[in-house]
Structure 1
Amino acid sequence: MIRLVESMVGDHPARAVLVGSNDPTATGLARAEALGVPSFAVDHRPFNGDRAAFEEALFARLDAAQPDLLCLAGFMRILTPGFVSRFEGRMLNIHPSLLPKYPGLHTHQRALDAGDAEAGASVHLVTPELDAGPILGQARVRIQPEDTAETLAARVLKQEHRLYPAVLRRVLDGNLSRLDLEAE
């Protein structure tokens, strides 16, 4: 998320108004504050599985900031259809696979186990179904014979840092056509 915030300079049409996390220990919170962007955490654990109460606490923080668009990155909670509907068409997510392949967790290991020739990242509009919204952009990397889930994840992350700012710029310019990036 911090790379996305850092990209919002100069002629970029977006400005971060708030950075939030469900993990109060996330390093990005302090880094956002250092960049002059207010941050917050709503730890899901004290809610003991009460997703509605967790999301209401999240709404309270978001509503106060009045964001035009939500950009999810590393937010490790599945959002309810009610939450998603409040931001319908205004919420993006980045996912570390070439969707529709490998929604959910352990994407890099799953790509390796399947013998895939490539992996990557996808930016999509968030819909109630997990990682199933319209794909707005993808970045691909070739899987190397020596790759592990960790080495592949590191290479994909570099592409995520290129992809998300580029897709965000296009979305804010009204361009919802798909962007495909090859690895540098």
Structure 2
Amino acid sequence: MTGRPTRLAVLISGRGSNLDAILRACAAGTLPAQVVQVISNRPHAGGLELAAAAGVPTAVIDHRRFPDRSGFEQALQAQLDAVPCDLVVLAGFMRVLTADFAARHRGRLLNIHPSLLPDFPGLHTHERALAAGVAEHGASVHFVTAAVDGGPLIAQIRVPVQAGDTPDTLAARVLAAEHRLYPTVLGWYAQGRLALVGERVLLDGLWLAAPVQFAAAGERDD
């Protein structure tokens, strides 16, 4: 480590609640990192206002202005190159990235997904979890690779499904859990404790046989 904070570029599409959790953790000193820019593919994403209020530079790369995914990603990469970072953080970024983009940032690209992967990749995870009748739901942080929501898993937080849950009530509890999980995992990376080597995750010098598990209250289960 260089001694300077790890530089994060955060990609968002919406209100930026995970971005807010990251910014708060950076400000509190619990996450030894600095958000150097926030990029949204949607011009009116609420997270842009959060970033601006925190003094973080923002940029909009509107995917609708490009004829194809390749053109969008070229513009996205140009913006990332303009403000160098150590890690690209997907925080509610609702665009599927190509294999080429994932390969370019391999080992330096993280995502949080609202399910206990490999269960329920993709969209509408809370509705699908309730329809499946699972006892536990939650969120997963993983390295991003070519497989959508299929990159090597790092950590998960488990949230019990309660009687009478709706997609909205379950989503709210999972989101609150995400706000604890993501800054923790980003902290591991910022401290030099976490790396992707080949297809395997290395944490504190040990290969992860399975993702680190956190209970809903935030305590590690392992």
TM-score category by the smaller chain? over 0.9
C-alpha contact 1:122 1:135 (8 A) present in aligned 2: yes
Amino acid across the alignment from 1:22: N
Q: Measure, in 1, the Cα distance between the counterparts of 2:41 and 2:187.
A: 26
Deviations 1:50-76 (A, max 9, x none): 001000111111111111001101110
Deviations 1:67-105 (A, max 9, x none): 100110111000001111111100000000000111100
Confirm whether residue 41 of structure 1 aligns to residue 60 of structure 2. Answer: yes
**1:95 equivalent in structure 2:** 113
Structure 1 residue 11 displacement after superposition: 5.0
Confirm whether residue 13 of structure 1 aligns to residue 32 of structure 2. Answer: yes
- Aligned match for 1:168, one of 173, 176, 186: 186
- Aligned match for 1:115, one of 108, 130, 133: 133
Q: Measure, in 1, the Cα distance between the counterparts of 2:77 and 2:38.
A: 13
**1:125 equivalent in structure 2:** 143
Structure 1 residue 133 displacement after superposition: 0.9
Structure 1 residue 179 displacement after superposition: 3.0
- Aligned match for 1:153, one of 163, 171, 181: 171
Instruction: Give aligned pairs, total.
Output: 183
Amino acid across the alignment from 1:119: H
**1:143 equivalent in structure 2:** 161
Amino acid across the alignment from 1:180: Q
Normalising by structure 2, report the TM-score.
Answer: 0.80
Q: Measure, in 2, the Cα distance between the counterparts of 1:26 and 1:32.
A: 11
The RMSD of aligned alpha carbons is 1.1
SS in 2 for 1:45: helix
Q: Measure, in 2, the Cα distance between the counterparts of 1:171 and 1:68.
A: 10
Confirm whether residue 179 of structure 1 aligns to residue 212 of structure 2. Answer: yes
Structure 1 residue 46 displacement after superposition: 1.7
Structure 1 residue 163 displacement after superposition: 0.2
Structure 2 residues without counterparts, runs of 5 or longer: 1-18, 195-202, 204-210, 218-222
Confirm whether residue 26 of structure 1 aligns to residue 26 of structure 2. Answer: no
Q: Measure, in 2, the Cα distance between the counterparts of 1:157 and 1:145.
A: 18
- Aligned match for 2:78, one of 44, 56, 60: 60
Amino acid across the alignment from 1:137: A
C-alpha contact 1:167 1:179 (8 A) present in aligned 2: no
More strand per residue: 2
Divergent runs of 4+, >4 A? none
Confirm whether residue 85 of structure 1 aligns to residue 111 of structure 2. Answer: no
The percent identity for this pair of structures is 55
**2:200 equivalent in structure 1:** none
